[in-house]
């Protein structure tokens, strides 16, 4: 289990940042993502794996309006 934006999400081995975005349907293009307080660059979403128990923050920049 991991926490994504304070909410639990089932974890599986090899889970990447991209997988989280897909599962959560996070389609907004301007994101700031931290895994256990470490910033993940956009270019690394496909390759950065997320450990079990991780705390993930997916900050959507404001846009809108």
Partner 1 sequence: MSQLVFDPSKVMDIDYTKRTEYLDQLEALRAGMRTVKEVPFQPSLPDKGYTNRTLYVNVGSLEVTEKPVTQQMKDVFIGGRGFGLYHLWNAVKPTTRWNDPENEIVISPGPVAGMTQYAGTGKSLVVSLSPQTDIPIDSNVGGFYGPLLKFSGFDALELQGKAEKDIILFIDGVKGLIRVEEVAGGPEDSHVLAELLTHLYAEGEKDLPNVSVVSTGAAAAHSLIGMLNFSFYDRRRKCVRFKQAGRGGIGTVFRDKRIRALVVRGPKVAGDLNHPVDPETIAKTGIKYHKEIRENDGGQCMMRRNGTAHIVEIMDAYDLLPVHNFQYGSHPEVHKIDSSYWQQRCTQHTVDGCWYGCSMACAKGADGLVLKTGPYKGDMVTVDGPEYENAAGLGSNCGVFDPDYLLELNFYCDTYGICTITYGTLTAFVMECYQRGILNKERTGGLEMTWGNAEADLEMMHRMARGEGFGKIAGLGVKKMKEYFIQQGWGDPQLINDIGMENKGLEYSQYMSKESLAQQGGYALTNKGPQHDEAWLIFMDMVNKQIPTFEDKAEALYYFPLFRTWFGLNGFCKLPWNDVVPANNSEQPEAHKVPEHVQNYVDLFSATTGVKIDKEDLIMQSARVYNFQRVFNIRMGKGLRLHDAAPYRSLGPVTKEEYESRAERYDQQIITEMGLDPAGKSTEEKMAMHRKWRTDRFSKLMDSVYTRRGWTLDGVPTLARLQELGLDAFPEVVDVVKQHL
Interface mask toward partner 1 for 12-51; x: CB under 8 A: ------x--xx--xxxxxxxxx-----x-xx---------
Q: Which is nearer to partner 1, 10 or 63 (CB)?
A: 63
Q: What is the size of the binding site for partner 1 (CB under 8 A)?
A: 27
Report the C-alpha gap between 16 and 2 in whole angstroms. Answer: 12
Q: Could you tell me the smallest distance in angstroms from the CB atom of residue 44 to partner 1?
A: 12
Which residues, in sequence order, are CB contacts of 37 under 8 Å at separation 6+? 55
The residue whose two tokens read 């920049």 is: 61
């Amino acid at each position: 289990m991991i926490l994504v934006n304070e909410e639990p999400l089932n974890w599986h081995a090899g889970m990447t940042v991209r997988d989280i975005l897909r599962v959560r349907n996070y389609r907004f293009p301007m994101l700031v993502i931290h895994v256990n307080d470490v910033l993940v660059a956009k270019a690394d979403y496909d390759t950065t794996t997320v450990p079990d128990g991780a705390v993930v923050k997916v900050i959507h920049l404001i846009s809108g309006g």
